[in-house]
Structure 1
Amino acid sequence: MPTARRIGPFEVPAVGLGCMNLSHAYGVAPTPEEAERLLLTAVEEGVTLFDTAALYGFGANEELVGRVLAGHRDRIVLASKCGMTGVDGRRVIDGRPETIRRTADEALARLRTDVIDVYHLHRLDRKVPVEESVGAMAELVAAGKVRALGLSEVSAATLRRAHAVHPIAALQNEYSLWSRNPEEGTLAAARELGVALVAFSPLARGVLTDAPPDLDALPASDIRRGMPRFDARHYPANLARRSELARLAEQAGIGLPRLALAWVLSRGPHVIAIPGTRSVAHLRENLSTLDADVPGEVLDTAGRLLNSATVHGPRYNEATLAEIDTERCGRAG
């Protein structure tokens, strides 16, 4: 498996680090000391792509990443996102050019840098043509504040419209054994256009790890409590599929997380995975996928066991799905 892949002008290992859960979404955040240790260990272990966003912790994640990694800036590829932020304690999608320009300046200050390597539009604002949002982001490139542009959670058609305004270096979409939406268009479109497909939640929001979420232990603030795949109607069936995958991984001698990540990376040489974690041990396990040689028949079997036809429940509730521009696939949402 090629361990180096391209994202715009940058070459990065095929596994990066999604920083969201150090500040946002998954229950109680780790202590600053724990988060700092995780980030610095990632640098030591060779991670170069670090992904954050203005939304995460309503700015706190960018501040964390900026503070901890400022001294390693020349060793990393720093990615962040605009177009979805926290306003008065609420998540707001806003792709207006003036908001994008302001958010970028705020991000530069929080990240303690003069330039963001890859800047994504976090969500398509359905009230603003993507050409206008990307046009404002292109101005940031011209001003030297951003090096390359990306999108997140958009369809192949929107990717093509944006790419016609300014070259798009990266497209972030959820992609894992249980979330196959990119296979409905963006996986192929990204490869055709020379765009990196950056897969977030490649371990199915913790399900495809050695310790899947215990729903009874999740804090009320954990976003998985509002996701249909984790509710009482669907989660037991999804855990049963996970158990089958775990047996397959054990038989192959590789462990479930490595199998799940290897499957994602096998989908194309333009695919990069950005699993998130709060555990140094899990970080190292994820990175060990770069050295894994998983037989094709094992990957094929994994893909048959869990896919858009066998997963139970859509990935988001209907209100959230209505905000997202990606293609839907089967009952997977």
Structure 2
Amino acid sequence: MTTTTFHISGDLEVRRLGFGAMQLPTEAGAARRTSLTVARRAVELGVTLIDTAYMYGGGANEELLAEALYPYPDGLVITTKVGVARSGGEWKLDGRPAVLRRQVEQALRRLRVERIELLQLHRIDPETPLADQLGTLRELRAEGKIGRIGLSEVTVAELQQAREIVDVASVQNRYNLLDRVHEPVLVACERAGIAFMPWRPVAAGTSGAKAEIAAVASETGATATQVALAWLLGRSPVMLPIPGTARLDHLEENLIAAELHLAPAQRASLDLLQEPA
């Protein structure tokens, strides 16, 4: 039976099906009001892991979540990401220690917390030594401003190198039923007990077009999206999907996937699916 919770780093319990906040509009007006409603509804429906990042609106997404959910209910984990900065109107990787420290300090203020339980490096900056990037986050953890350190979009070799510098609590790579380029990274995370948080957990617009997915959806009375998410949850016990949406109906559709059971034959059919590399 698929477990519904996971302990990040062995001690931080979250429900495995979380919520990605990236798609929530932050501009003033009706769309923002809907965003606030969606974030609150996610928590009402039992979500305990919400993913955001400084890059999502230059901190506006973090501010939105704080407006919607502060004071936070017990057990809610909002994870954010740093290491990307705007320069000359474009977003660029920037893992310089001063930048990382400043972004963490700003995230603490925007989220209205004294400690970020899970802080992820949005990307490894190739122009800054990895030891300097992770060393800065390790210092912030020692200061009590970060609880755990994660990575995003890394290879197996980069994960191994990072683990020689710090304890890695999570990895956030692109992964879904039709896109398993990072399968080796998932396997490495599973062996080490590291949380794997797939971004783009549903192949947008294509899942329902696959006959195999459509067949399973028909057999189970579920949607193609629910089938894709249920497959992820059954793929590995360290898998923590974070589907995102700005619509209440899609949110509720996504979260029902945690209750969907796929039969062995259905799962076997889906296991064979992959888009050509």
TM range (shorter): over 0.9
- Rounded Cα–Cα distance in structure 2 between residues aligned with 1:278 and 1:193: 34
CA deviation profile, 1:126-154 (whole Å, cap 9, x unmatched): 11222221111111110111100000000
Query: In the TM superposition, what are the counterparts of 1:40-79 in structure 2 within 5 Å?
Result: 40-79=40-79
Higher relative contact order (CA 8 A, sep 6+): 1
8 A Cα contact 2:25 2:32, kept in partner: no
Map of 2:274 onto structure 1: 307
Amino acid at match of 1:107: A
Q: TM-score under structure 1 normalisation?
A: 0.78
Query: In the TM superposition, what are the counterparts of 1:107-118 in structure 2 within 5 Å?
Result: 107-118=107-118
CA deviation profile, 1:181-201 (whole Å, cap 9, x unmatched): 221x21111112221111111
Map of 2:4 onto structure 1: 3
Query: Relative to structure 1, is the Cα distance of residues 272 and 179 closer, same or farther in structure 2, using a 3 angstrom cutoff?
Result: same
Query: Relative to structure 1, is the Cα distance of residues 203 and 21 closer, same or farther in structure 2, using a 3 angstrom cutoff?
Result: same
8 A Cα contact 2:196 2:239, kept in partner: yes
8 A Cα contact 1:23 1:30, kept in partner: no
Counting matched residue pairs gives: 273
8 A Cα contact 2:14 2:75, kept in partner: no
Amino acid at match of 1:34: T
Amino acid at match of 2:8: I
Cα distance, 1:87 vs. partner? 3.5
8 A Cα contact 2:121 2:150, kept in partner: yes
Cα distance, 1:78 vs. partner? 1.3
Higher helix share: 1
Map of 2:98 onto structure 1: 98
8 A Cα contact 1:67 1:112, kept in partner: no
Match of 1:268 among 205, 217, 236: 236
8 A Cα contact 2:100 2:133, kept in partner: yes
Map of 2:266 onto structure 1: 298
Amino acid at match of 2:263: P
Map of 1:19 onto structure 2: 21
Map of 1:259 onto structure 2: 227
Cα distance, 1:38 vs. partner? 0.2
Query: Relative to structure 1, is the Cα distance of residues 153 and 198 closer, same or farther in structure 2, using a 3 angstrom cutoff?
Result: same
8 A Cα contact 2:62 2:107, kept in partner: yes
Amino acid at match of 1:102: R
Report the 3-state secondary structure (helix = DSSP H, G, I; strand = E; otherwise coil) of the residue aligned with 1:199: coil
8 A Cα contact 1:84 1:123, kept in partner: yes
- Rounded Cα–Cα distance in structure 1 between residues aligned with 2:30 and 2:235: 32
Give the aligned CA root-mean-square deviation in angstroms.
1.8
Amino acid at match of 2:31: T
Map of 1:83 onto structure 2: 83
- Rounded Cα–Cα distance in structure 2 between residues aligned with 1:97 and 1:30: 38
- Rounded Cα–Cα distance in structure 1 between residues aligned with 2:191 and 2:213: 31
Report the 3-state secondary structure (helix = DSSP H, G, I; strand = E; otherwise coil) of the residue aligned with 1:284: helix
Map of 2:191 onto structure 1: 192
Cα distance, 1:60 vs. partner? 0.9
* Identity across matched positions, percent: 36
- Rounded Cα–Cα distance in structure 2 between residues aligned with 1:60 and 1:23: 9
8 A Cα contact 1:51 1:78, kept in partner: yes
Cα distance, 1:205 vs. partner? 3.3
Match of 2:213 among 245, 265, 271: 245
Query: Relative to structure 1, is the Cα distance of residues 294 and 30 closer, same or farther in structure 2, using a 3 angstrom cutoff?
Result: farther
Matched, 1:137 2:162: no
8 A Cα contact 1:82 1:104, kept in partner: yes
Cα distance, 1:267 vs. partner? 1.6
Unmatched tracts of structure 1, length 5 or more = 210-238, 310-330
- Rounded Cα–Cα distance in structure 1 between residues aligned with 2:206 and 2:12: 31
Matched, 1:283 2:248: no
Query: Relative to structure 1, is the Cα distance of residues 50 and 284 closer, same or farther in structure 2, using a 3 angstrom cutoff?
Result: same
Moved more, 94-103 or 198-207: 198-207
CA deviation profile, 1:97-154 (whole Å, cap 9, x unmatched): 1110011011111111111111000011111222221111111110111100000000
Cα distance, 1:171 vs. partner? 0.3
Query: Relative to structure 1, is the Cα distance of residues 58 and 89 closer, same or farther in structure 2, using a 3 angstrom cutoff?
Result: farther
8 A Cα contact 2:20 2:52, kept in partner: yes
Report the 3-state secondary structure (helix = DSSP H, G, I; strand = E; otherwise coil) of the residue aligned with 1:204: coil
